[in-house]
Amino acid sequence: MELDEECKGCLYNSQMKKVERSCTDAAKLDAFRQAVRRLCEAPPADYCAPLLMRDIDSAHRAVFGTGIDYSSEKRMFNSAVLGMEEELFARINSSADPLAEAIKYAAAANYIDFAKLSDLGKDSLETVRQAATRTVPDAVVLDLLKDKLRAAQTLLFVHDNCGEVVFDKILIRVIKRLYPAINVTSLVRGGEIINDATRADAAFIGLERYAAVEDNGEAVPGTYLKELPPRVLGLFANSDVVVAKGLGNLETLYGEGYGVFYIFMCKCAHIAKRFGLAQWSTAFVFEEAKK
């Protein structure tokens, strides 16, 4: 998806707020601010938001020597959601439609996004809970997913943010309970970028107990197909079902030819308009593969 003007302002504001809170060097802060402003004012014509975010992180490395550090936020949210995992898993499995119920929470959890919202805290989990209670997965898409899962042997699950990835883990556990013949591969980021989930985060939450964990080789908050290694492209080509979480994956994968079930929250006005939904509502859509 093309880079929207909304994305430029959002990324500039969220990342500047994050760095301003921790930086005590006024000269370096000003240098970083100027670099980010230049990046947001004149990105390449074919850019999408995840690529701009990678450039912003690279600018931080050039000025400060490291990427923008979200390690404490990642640990906080992963730990907090792990603390509620078993209770939530049990509640979901006791519902009338466990798959639909798990999708509700996975979609609502896409709220945990430091590229869009710079001031998230543990109280954000209450926002996730409330959003999940309001979510009603599209019935047609849900039936299609169930049909495909019944016939599938392999599922590729493309993850997004930390905290959110524990809700994804719960969804994977539900899928494996309902469809035990399916082998799941979880795809995480290949390097640290914002609060996106990496191999280290997958290990921290115990994701490998339910899925084979792979990384995409990219420190991009999305899945940029032009830079994926052949082993990862093969996962997209050869998996019976592909599920992708979050806006970064939507913006890099949508329209690229693969059949994908997308689960996300419409945090941006242009995304909400694109899918005919209200801003801050959850979405569960399927894009057919191009023949």
Note the pLDDT tens digit of each residue in 212-267. Answer: 999 999 999 999 999 999 999 999 999 999 999 999 999 999 999 999 999 998 98
pLDDT at position 118: 55
What is the value of pTM for the model shown? 0.94
What does the pLDDT look like over 10-33, one tens digit per residue? 888 888 888 988 888 999 999 999
- Largest Cα separation within the chain, whole Å, is 59
Pick among 3.40.50.880, 1.10.645.10, 3.30.2320.20, 3.40.50.10880: CATH of 71-287:
3.40.50.10880
Chain-centre distance for alpha carbon 188: 9
Query: Do the beta carbons of residue 169 and residue 210 sit within 8 Å?
Result: yes
Neighbours of 147 (CB within 10 A): 10
Average pLDDT of the residues of the chain = 92
Nearest to 264 by CA among 83, 135, 172: 135
Residue 1 has pLDDT above 80, yes or no: no
Joined together, the tokens standing for residue 137 give 């997965």
| Domain residue extents for the chain | 5-64, 71-287
Average of per-residue pLDDT across 160-173 = 96
